[in-house]
């Protein structure tokens, strides 16, 4: 079992650790906001955020889910487009407005 947090939910995935995060998110969790594009990591349609602790601090990086093996999600916080709070601006969106 591969355990991680997807948006705000703890999940245990029994799929192969070599399957892609894109396939897991779309086909097993039915979160279709993460799109299938090129499946080569170039177009960005499948971008997700991956949060992991570095030096005691939670750091998020954007990743192309079509290239990310499901096993790499173990112990991390994965955020799809559905997990972004759309009721108010995110800190990134607010920063873009402020600059």
Whole-structure pTM value: 0.82
Torsion of CA 47, 81, 8, 42, to 10 degrees: 0
| DSSP 8-state symbol, 93 | H
- Regarding the domain with residue range 2-98, which homologous superfamily does it belong to in the CATH classification? Beta-grasp domain (3.10.20.30)
Q: Is the pLDDT of residue 6 over 90?
A: yes
| pLDDT single digits (tens) 19-56 | 999 999 999 999 999 999 899 888 989 999 999 999 99
* Three-class DSSP category at 97: helix
pLDDT the model gives residue 70: 96
| pLDDT single digits (tens) 46-90 | 999 999 999 999 999 999 999 999 999 999 999 999 988 767 777
d(CA 44, CA 37) in angstroms, rounded, equals 8
């Amino acid at each position: 079992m591969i355990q991680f947090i997807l948006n705000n939910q703890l999940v245990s995935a029994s799929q192969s650790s070599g399957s892609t995060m894109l396939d897991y998110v779309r086909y097993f969790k039915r979160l279709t906001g993460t799109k299938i594009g090129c499946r080569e990591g170039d177009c960005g349609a499948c971008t997700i955020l991956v949060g992991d602790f570095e030096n005691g601090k939670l750091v998020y990086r954007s990743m192309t889910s079509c290239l990310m093996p499901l096993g790499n999600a173990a112990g991390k916080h994965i955020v799809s487009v559905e997990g972004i709070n759309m009721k108010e601006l995110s800190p990134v969106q607010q920063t873009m407005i402020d600059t």
